[in-house]
């Protein structure tokens, strides 16, 4: 399908992007375009202006920052998958980035776009949630930090105001982490995805495709903290979740998959 008409502005700084967003509530950022362009073509969204931040090279980095790793919002999935700092100090995120879609998607899609799109099936959002990542956003008022747990407010919706730009994602260094993704077809979105990692002395678990947003498996985390075995804790993986039923699987099947994948992930940690 052909998108509805829109204006197009390519910006050369984050400040310019913020200014354009501030001028028009129906303006939208364009990063890698791998979620937004399909949505435009299906006319699910009809922005008046597309503000293209895709060439802002200063938002495309991965660097160590004390006990955390700072990732620019425009770092692409393929760059994260191959990044030596992530490979050494947060391999679970690098691995998950390598599991996103196909090579074309991974070479265009960005971590900032992936998180902002807030797809409940997003691989990276699920890992960031399990890691308690901090999301740094900029607006005319300055910068603020949103915890991943506060960011996802519903299916495809997030805590950003219309004139805010996600500029950086900060993750802790973690020695042990696992991301397991069950797909019906090769290179598909997760029927269920499970991220598990040791963070600050606790095991934290994120779930993809188990509800309206990426979710934390709190019942599993609390059971582990109380001394439960991986198998006993994993039995609670679907606790509080409302998994959807669709062509990839029924709600019951997803609940079963979550229990199986969480057990496997915990056993691999």
Binding site for ligand FAD (CB under 6 A): 28-36, 38, 73, 100-101, 105, 109-110, 112-114, 116-117, 122-124, 160, 165-166, 189
Q: Among residues 123 and 132, whose Cβ is nearest to ligand FAD?
A: 123
Closer CB to ligand FAD, 158 or 204, in the complex? 158
Q: Look at residue 164 and give its three-state secondary structure.
A: coil
Nearer to ligand FAD, 113 or 230 (CB): 113
Is residue 232 classed as helix, strand or coil in its secondary structure?
helix
For tokens 């490979």, name the residue: 87
Q: How big is the chain by its Cα radius of gyration, in Å?
A: 18
Residue nearer to ligand FAD on the CB measure, 109 or 230: 109
Instruction: Locate all alpha helices (DSSP H) within 31-122, ordered by sequence.
Output: 36-41, 77-82, 84-89, 91-97, 103-108, 111-117
The span from the CA of 86 to the CA of 173, in Å, is: 8
Alpha carbon separation from 123 to 130, 184, 228 (Å, rounded)? 11, 15, 27
The residue written with tokens 């057990």 in the block is 263
**Least gap, CB of 135 to ligand FAD (angstroms):** 9
Residue closer to ligand FAD (CB basis): 148 or 233: 148
């Amino acid at each position: 399908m052909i998108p509805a008409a829109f204006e197009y502005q390519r910006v050369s700084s984050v400040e310019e992007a913020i200014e354009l967003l501030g001028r028009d509530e129906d303006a939208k950022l364009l990063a890698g375009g791998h979620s937004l362009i399909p949505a435009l073509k299906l006319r699910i969204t009809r922005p008046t202006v597309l503000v293209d931040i895709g060439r802002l090279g200063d938002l495309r980095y991965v660097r160590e920052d004390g006990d955390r790793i700072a990732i620019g919002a425009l770092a692409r999935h393929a760059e994260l998958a191959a990044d030596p700092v992530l490979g050494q100090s947060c391999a679970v995120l690098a691995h998950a980035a390598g599991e996103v879609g196909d090579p074309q998607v991974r070479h265009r899609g960005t971590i900032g776009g992936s998180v902002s799109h807030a797809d409940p099936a997003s691989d990276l959002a699920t890992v960031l949630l399990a890691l308690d990542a901090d999301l740094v956003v900029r607006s005319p008022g300055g910068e603020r930090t949103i915890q991943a747990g506060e960011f996802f407010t519903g299916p495809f919706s997030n805590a950003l105001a219309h004139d805010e730009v996600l500029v950086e994602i900060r993750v802790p260094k973690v020695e042990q982490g696992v991301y397991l993704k069950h797909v019906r077809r090769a290179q598909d979105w997760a029927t269920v995805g499970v991220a598990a990692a040791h963070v600050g002395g606790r095991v934290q678990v994120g779930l993809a495709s188990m509800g309206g947003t990426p979710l934390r498996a709190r019942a599993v985390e609390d059971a582990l903290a109380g001394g439960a075995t991986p198998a006993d804790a994993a039995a609670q993986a679907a606790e509080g979740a409302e998994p959807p039923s669709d062509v990839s699987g029924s709600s019951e099947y997803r609940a079963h998959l979550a229990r199986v994948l969480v057990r496997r992930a915990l056993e691999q940690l």
